[in-house]
Homo-oligomer: A and B are copies of this chain.
Amino acid sequence: MPHSPLIRMFNCSINLNASEEEAVRALPMRVKILGGKQDLVREHESPAQCCVVLEGYACTYRDMRDGQRQIVSFHVPGDMPDLHSLHLAEVHNSIGSIGPLTVGMINNSDLHRICREFPRVAAALWRLTLIDASIYKEWISNVGARDARTRAAHLFCEVHFRQASIGRVRDNAFDWPVTQIDLGNALGLSVVHVHRTLKNLREAGLIDYERGVLHIPDINALMEAGDFDAGYLHIRTASERAAMEAH
């Protein structure tokens, strides 16, 4: 069922009707499996295809001239991290895997076709890019205006809610193959300080992790610590989607 994360993603926006769903399922998709730390897209390329994350974590990042790396977003199943290649000539960020990653590659031409044929599908993809932009804005606020502890707590909350929305949180825990180095690159902190910050959060009982699994005993406490409000993720419940459709 390689298309199912894609279908679920669309259904978060528009509740696909039968013919739309059929068209999405018919999209030619090449499944690609990567190990940890491999690149899917490199800066300054002009890819002719888009990817959908099917399983695992991807991240969008940028390497600075001084060798630092800045991760600007993590991607979970259902995300399409490089939709910009549909309308922009050149990519200015790299996309890579964090831990084992499965993605589906879809040709831009096929996506353009389905967008022309099914305007609601186009709107759903547009909506997806708007949500991405919303997440980027929050990430700017996080990196620009919060101290290390709050910043880390906020990021964990974000990942928690995104994983929860696709049913990947069990017993308050989810997969977390992200190293402290990655985390430093995402939070704009040095590895040493990331470690101290995590230690702090762990000692406060806000998080707990072992062998690639992150456990959040009390999400409300972590949200408080992370100055977190999930609204910017624009996650819709089933009833909200139904209400939307009715209108």
Within 8 A of B (CB), among A175-207: 187-188
A99 to B122, CA, bound (A): 37
In the bound complex, residues from chain B placing their C-beta under 8 Å from that of A97 are none
When the two chains form the complex, which single residue of B90, B126, B136 contacts A136, counting CB atoms closer than 8 Å?
Answer: B136
Within 8 A of B (CB), among A110-165: 116, 119, 122-123, 126-127, 129-134, 136-141, 143-146
- Digitize A206-247: 1 where CB-to-B-CB distance is under 8 Å, 0 elsewhere: 000000000000000000000101011010000010000000
Is A68 engaged at the interface, CB distance under 8 Å to the other chain?
Answer: yes
Q: Which 3 A-B pairs have the closest CB atoms?
A: A144-B188, A136-B136, A87-B127
- Other A-B contacts than A83-B130, A92-B229, 17 sampled, CB-CB below 8 A, are A64-B145, A64-B227, A65-B227, A70-B141, A72-B141, A73-B137, A84-B133, A84-B134, A86-B130, A87-B130, A89-B234, A90-B234, A93-B137, A126-B126, A129-B133, A133-B136, A144-B144
In the bound complex, residues from chain B placing their C-beta under 8 Å from that of A3 are none
Q: Chain A binding site: helix, strand, loop or mixed by DSSP?
A: helix
Give how many A residues have a beta carbon under 8 Å from the other chain's beta carbons. 50
Q: Report 27 cross-chain contacts, Cβ distance below 8 Å, ordered by A residue.
A: A60-B137, A62-B138, A64-B141, A64-B146, A69-B145, A70-B140, A83-B130, A84-B130, A84-B133, A84-B134, A87-B123, A89-B240, A92-B138, A92-B229, A93-B137, A119-B119, A122-B122, A122-B126, A129-B133, A136-B137, A136-B139, A136-B140, A139-B140, A140-B140, A143-B188, A144-B187, A145-B188
